[in-house]
């Protein structure tokens, strides 16, 4: 698959807390960072997303009496998974992993999400209330982007929701599967089914060729 000038690479949540030793570690997360750097070299437009939570984030079990991580609660916008407290604003856990800094340095923008304590956020396009936009769609359109390639963490949550919203916003979406890692097999399978239903394409990094 040849890349084009109208493509963008979206680097999703390549942060310390999602890598080994982090508060919400995804197995193998740190290992994909060098590949993400190599991918970033092939794109004229690179944008990164960054989880950016406050301590009173609604999805943290520490803010609900007796709650435990990886259980769901009912909130104003529907069902919400509770996650271990992670990616707190200004902390080392919220920082980009040091091995992905070349890609982040190339990024023309960092889209921060999840900073509203009353609403969690997976997608780079919308908060979990499905109404509050991050501005990413407008930024991509202003750059003339037609197709987005996605990599990062985690495949079955933030990558998935961002890819699916990209299609809903009128972009073509391509997930570079070996440049992502998933939290769990079950949710990874659900993500794959969702991609197929919406026309999100999945490729390997070796399937990409640079545009001339």
Q: Reply yes or no on whether 13 is catalytic.
A: yes
- State the Cα–Cα distance between residues 99 and 86, nearest whole angstrom: 19
Active-site pick, 13, 51, 85, 165: 13
Q: Reply yes or no on whether 113 is catalytic.
A: yes
Active-site pick, 17, 113, 151, 180: 113
Active-site pick, 19, 87, 158, 180: 158
- State the Cα–Cα distance between residues 147 and 164, nearest whole angstrom: 13
Q: Which long-range contacts (CB under 8 A, 24 or more apart) does 192-196 make?
A: 194/160, 194/164, 195/160, 195/163, 195/164
Q: Reply yes or no on whether 180 is catalytic.
A: no
Angle at 59 between CA 54 and CA 61, to 5 degrees: 100
- State the Cα–Cα distance between residues 10 and 67, nearest whole angstrom: 33
Q: Catalytic site residues?
A: 13, 113, 158
């Amino acid at each position: 698959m040849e890349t084009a000038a109208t493509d963008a690479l979206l680097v999703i949540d390549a942060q310390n807390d999602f890598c080994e030793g982090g508060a919400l570690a995804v197995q193998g997360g740190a290992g994909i960072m060098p590949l993400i750097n190599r991918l970033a070299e092939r794109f004229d437009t690179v944008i990164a997303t960054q989880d950016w939570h406050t301590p009173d984030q609604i999805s943290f079990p520490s803010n609900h009496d007796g709650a435990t991580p990886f259980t769901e609660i009912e909130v104003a916008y529907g069902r919400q998974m509770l996650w271990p407290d992670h990616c707190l604003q200004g902390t080392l856990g919220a920082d980009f992993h040091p091995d992905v800094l070349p890609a982040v340095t190339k990024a023309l923008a960092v889209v921060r999400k999840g900073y509203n304590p009353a609403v969690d956020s997976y997608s780079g396009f919308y908060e979990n209330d499905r109404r509050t936009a991050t501005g990413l769609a407008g930024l991509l359109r202003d750059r003339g982007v037609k197709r987005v390639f996605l990599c990062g963490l985690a495949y079955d949550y933030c990558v998935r929701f961002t890819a699916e919203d990209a299609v809903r916003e009128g972009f073509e979406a391509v997930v570079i599967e070996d440049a992502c890692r998933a939290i769990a097999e079950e949710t990874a399978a659900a993500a794959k089914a969702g991609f197929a239903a919406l026309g999100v394409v999945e490729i390997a990094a070796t399937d990409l060729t640079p545009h001339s």
